A and B are shown apart, each in its own frame.
Chain A
Amino acid sequence: MVEARSLAIAPVEFAATDMLHRRVPLRHRCELGAGGSLFVIKTDSPLMEEALNALAGRMEVIAPNYDAQWEISVEASDRAAHFPDAVQTESFETFCFGPSRSVRMGAGSWFAHTPPSMSGVGFVMVNGNECQRTLQLVVYLKMVLCFLVDSGTTANSAVECEVSA
């Protein structure tokens, strides 16, 4: 279900070092039911629903009967499109800070949450045409799913990961 009319993704108007992005309204709402779970994504991008539908089958891997709400803001840049076509080719880093965990991807996109909740917030940096941006959103959502599955299995373990050489 998408509540708002389709809008082109607008380039960011505020300075990168402002904190005004906190106020960006997320007027689009996508819902996906899978395996007894309900996932709700609030976003400012009308492309998110299409990206989400491409992942319908993967949502069940998180956990059955689990509800989650994600607030995802999508930003466009004028850079030439660069997107991996598979999860395995995208580099990412995971972080622990206090009770929370986050993942940052190579293009600067990220997602953060506080386990055991699967709800969280994130930012996606996209570029290129509409098709390319949708594909980038799909890759992003796949990353978030992998990350949340990993969080679910390691939430209570000590943080021991290696910074690559």
Chain B
Amino acid sequence: MIEFRRMAPAMDTIPLGVAGAALSLHTNSVQLAELAAEFFPPVSASVPHAPQATLTLVVDKGRKESDDGRSFPVFRGRNEFVHADYGRDGSLWFDLKARAVSGIVSHDLLAETMRFRSAVLAVIAGVLAPALGLTGVHAGCVVRNGKAVMLAAASGVGKSTLTLALALRGWSLLSDDWTFVTALPTGLQVWGMQTPLKLLPDAVRYFPDLSALSPKESLNGEMAFEVDPWIFFHVDRATHATPAAVILLERDPNSCQASRRQIERCTPEETRTRLFSDIEEQPAEIGGINDCQSSLIDQLCALPCYKMRIGGHPAAIAAELNPILTERLCG
């Protein structure tokens, strides 16, 4: 029988922050602690915050499991429990009611820094977020002058390419796919994670620099380029900002011509429908989270909301959007 030891941590409790919520980390690994502190910078270096969740991560040898062809990670959950199974590379366990996360990861998984960030740390944020009062919105986000514009769309419409194209025109990139929203006493805040930018293989025609890379299998099985946008494309990074507007994007091949693209106001109801379509209903066992998520979405929908049909080169779309967003929303 293999049993699990909650080892005496090599370091003191390490304070972390997830979109404004304080966490505490216990670990036996200096490298993991450094990666986690970089990914989840503490809420405030000077003001101690009582942790809203505890994280215990042990680094050890991988499991001795036969290679049966399964692809990992695999997530399964019910009620307040979630298990992220990394096969030979370990497991994460979530008790969302108690806001406790524990896990064991292999040295090999930790050594793959980019994969560790996206497959472990980002997963911790995504699964834990609702229990911390955060709502993940399926939207890219760019920032200027501290104000954020959220670009919401279903997968495959072009969020990531348009977000990147705007960042290449001087906007700060906060996220390209999922943006966390939280309510502070001063108002709404949006937050991003330091996760790789994910671009489908055909994005190389818009961003030729990608030809130097090879697409790899991403977390959900898709072949994609996954790059650190702040390093690879030299764009500025924003970690959080005040949301100023929401733009709903829809794909329309007939919108390749500039004359056929237009941005127009949409109703809060349209925005709510779009944003809610990608939000997972949380189990009742966690308590009150669905109401919290609904309230956050309603506050987002009270912002100026627009819709736009897009098609063609993202750089051209960004060139049109840039002055509109700057003048109307973030000037």
Contacts and interface: CB of A to CB of B under 8 A. Distances in A.
B221 interface: yes
Given A19-B280, A102-B93, A108-B85, A93 B4 contact: yes
Interface-centre pick from A21, A77, A95 (highest chain B CB count, 10 A): A95
Contact of B4 (A17, A73, A94): A94
A98 B75 contact: no
B2 A92 contact: yes
A16 B71 contact: yes
B73 interface: yes
Contacts of A104: 83, 85, 91
Contacts of B70: 77, 79, 108
B83 A163 contact: no
A99 B98 contact: yes
B328 interface: no
Nearest to B75: A17
B221 A15 contact: yes
B102 interface: yes
A91 interface: yes
A159 B65 contact: no
Nearest to B3: A161
Nearest to A42: B78
Contacts of B76: 21, 73, 110, 123
A10 interface: no
Interface string B85-104: 10100010111011111111
Interface in A120-153: 120-121, 123
Given A22-B78, A100-B98, A82 B4 contact: no
Task: Assign chain A's interface to a size class.
Answer: 35 or more
Nearest to A108: B85
Nearest to A114: B95
A121 B79 contact: yes
A121 B68 contact: no
A157 B224 CA distance: 47
Contact of B54 (A95, A98, A110, A163): A98
A105 B69 CA distance: 17
B5 interface: yes
Given A22-B283, A104-B91, A161-B4, A97 B74 contact: no
B280 A108 contact: no
B3 A97 contact: no
A127 B94 CA distance: 27
Contacts of A92: 1-2
A106 interface: yes
B81 interface: yes
Interface in A77-123: 77, 79, 82, 91-100, 102, 104, 106, 108, 110, 112, 114, 120-121, 123
B204 interface: no
Contacts of B69: 79
Contact of B6 (A73, A99, A159, A165): A159
Contacts of A23: 281
Interface string A49-81: 000000000000000000000010100010100
A102 B83 contact: yes
A162 interface: yes
Interface in B32-80: 54, 56, 58, 60-61, 63, 65, 68-79
Interface of B: 1-6, 54, 56, 58, 60-61, 63, 65, 68-79, 81-83, 85, 87, 91, 93-95, 97-104, 127, 219-221, 280-281, 283
Interface of A: 15-23, 71, 73, 77, 79, 82, 91-100, 102, 104, 106, 108, 110, 112, 114, 120-121, 123, 159-165
Chain A to chain B: the 7 pairs with minimum beta-carbon distance, closest first: A98-B100, A161-B3, A98-B98, A97-B102, A121-B78, A16-B74, A100-B95
